[in-house]
Every structure is written in structure tokens, then in C-alpha cells.
Structure 1
Amino acid sequence: MVVAKSPIELATWPRRDYFYYFTKMMPTGFNVTVTVDITATYDAVKTRGLHFFPIYLYLITQLLSEQPEFMITQEKDQLYHFETLTPSYSLYHQDDDTISGMWTAYSPDLATFYQHYEQDRSTYQNHHGVVVKPNQPENAYMINMMPSLHFSSYTPLSFNGLPNFLPVIEAGQYKVVADRRLMPVSFTIHHAVADGHHVSRFFEKLQARFDEPDKWLNISK
């Protein structure tokens, strides 16, 4: 799978000094967990006979692709912007209570992405192992959902010491409060590439999309 990316010119990149500071002088990442109201989209998804999880994967990936600060990678001393990201997630196996790593090719067309997801799930659902779909592309970012746990905070930890400039997203179980479905969404990012206002902008757009599914949810079974 060929991944499109373009080099970042450090001399003119507005975050050059911040990148140096937060990678060399004070290596820092941050995590926030925000509760979002998924009621309108969840109801629309179920009315159309669809699964919510692939819709969630699509929407998050689409929104991340609208903000270049969330699509940065590094090869040796060169930074690049990916043109799009690929969601990398887990399949859960009920028979032995394990999970397997998966990824699905992203498409800006929702129907195409949903079809990709359904094909992947059908092909690999009964395959066991840490990673079951090979050849994960370099623009894959971690995104998941824990439908059995409602949390107020979730912070993934890396133990390998390697820099990762792509976001890590985790959603939890939604709770019904006053007839609204409220779902926690955890967002982790390296401070070298993004600040709090970038993440705030992402969540503003995410809530707006969840509130108005008729503007983008154009498929049904």
C-alpha cells in the first residue's frame, strides 16, 4: 500500500521551535478525555441498520485528516505530513477472550470505507494472534473502543521510548443520561506537533458532526 506524504520544510514550519523544545529539551505528550454526545448519530446509525463502530472509525479518521498537525511522521531527521491516516484497531474474540490487531484502508467515501471494514471483519474475525492483517501501512494510527467500560480518563503509555507523533484515540462505553447517549473519548498526542487548542478544535468538530448525521451519514443497509 503506497502512502502519500509530503516533506515539511523546517526552515518555514511554524512549529519548528516547539518541535525542538518538546522533543529535545522537555519531551512531552498530553492526554485529554472528553465526553461527547453521540445520540443523534447513534440513533441514525441504528435506524439505517448499520454498525456504530465502523462509523466511529470513519468519522474520527476523516476529522483527523482535516488537521495536518495530527498527521506528522518522522524518518531519520526529516518530518513529513501524511495526506490521510489509516485506522488501526482491535478485533475481539469471544471464544478465548483475546484481541487481534487490525487495520482498514480509509476512503473519504463513507460507503467505500464501510465496505472495506465489513470485508476485513469477515475475513479476519476468526483469525487469532497479536496482529492478523499483514502489511499495516506506515500512516496507521491507533484507535479503539471499549464498549464494556465507561471511563473518565484513559491514558495509553509507551514503554519503548520511541517518538510517536500520530494521535491515539480510545472511546469508552456510552451512558444514557437524561435520554442522551454520552460517550467518553480519550485523545493522546505528542506536544511537539500539537497544542491544546488543536485538540479542542478537533472535539468541537467531532461534536458538531455527531449532532448532524444527516449532513454526512448517507448510507444504509
Structure 2
Amino acid sequence: MSCSRRNFVSGAGALAIVAGTTGLAANSLSLAAENEKKAIRYAMVHNEQACIGCTACMEACRETNQVPEGVSRLEIIRSEPYGNFPNVKYEFFRQSCQHCTNAPCVSVCPTGASFIDKSTGIVDVNPDLCVGCQYCIAVCPYRVRFIHPEKKTADKCNFCRDTNLAKGKQPACVEICPTKALTFGDLNDPNSDVSRLIQEKPVYRTKVELGTQPNLYHIPFQQGEPRR
């Protein structure tokens, strides 16, 4: 079998093109993987052992995000008392948006108003697209959404995405907490405070069996049973 010089050069050129294309594809995949690693996934930890139920977080949230009276983006729920007087203790539980990685409120929204911010993982609502159908409120297993009484659109905690976070600050509830019971940060960064806390402390999340993959963690109160 003979191979002319022209065919050899042509074949070598084709191989070079394929190799170059493969190299470009590999570089593109590498760059995509690097960008994926840099993606932020915000999470929060509520330390029930440190929380004193002062509700300063609720008021700071209301003031910072201009939440009207009668509705709330977060609630601190107080348990029944543990122990006997004068050694009585309470468990305080934070109820707010879980910022689920697999958010059912996003899946059912007919207009795309409910969405997950790809750059931060924050679940949010675009009021310009919301028609107030309340599908997201009905499907949320955590019951943390409401219709804003003035805007008439769905609303909830968004980690102060368009207020404090937009200014490079921590969420209002985190900044105001007098006992540092709240920790906020990037869960994709293994060196962040929130990542280290989750690794070092026993934590739990609620309703994980539903597959929502919530990003709100709790350090359980010592005298109480972890909520499921």
C-alpha cells in the first residue's frame, strides 16, 4: 500500500486540526469546570443554642426590606418551656425561606417570577412577573411565602439580596443578632464560616425527605428534640 507525500501532508494536517479542536474543547471544559467551582451557594445556620428569642432579627428584616406590618419574612418561634421555675428554658426556632436547591416554588411558577439566582443560589421573586396566583405559596412545604399586602405579589426572605447584600453587607438579621446565633456565607467555599460550622457542629435541616435540598441549617437546642 503506497502513501503519497501529498496524502501524508493532508492527513497530518487533518490530525493537527483534530488535535487543536480537541485541545480547545478540553480548555473550554476546564474553564467551565473552573467557573462552576467558583459559583456561590449561599446558606445560613441558625444556632438554637445561642438564640435568646429577642426577635431583633425580625425587626431588622422588616426595617431593611420595608416589610409591612401583618406579614413577615422570618419568624422566631418559641417552644414550650423546658424545666421548672426558676430553671426554665425555651427553644427558639427560625422559620424562613430555606433557599432550596430544588425549589418547588420555582417549578410551579407559571410566569417565571419565582427563580433561583444562578450566581448565588438565592431563591427570589421578580415582582414584575408575579401575577399573584399563589401557586408558590400553596406548594411551599415550609409555609414561608406570603402575598405582599401593598405590591400584591409573592414575597419572602431573599437573604437581603437587593438591600444589604447589594451593598456588600451581611443580611440584616445576621448583622443585628446580639448573640451571633446566625452565620451566613458561601457553602461552596470550604473555608467560609458557614462551611466550617456545618462541618464542626451537629446540624439538621427540615423536611429533607422531600428532596428540596434546603440551605438553611440549624444547630439543635441541647434540651430539645431536633425538629424534622
Normalised by the shorter chain, which TM-score bucket? under 0.3
Higher strand share: 1
Which of these two proteins has the greater Rg computed from alpha carbons? 2
Q: TM-score, normalised by structure 1?
A: 0.26
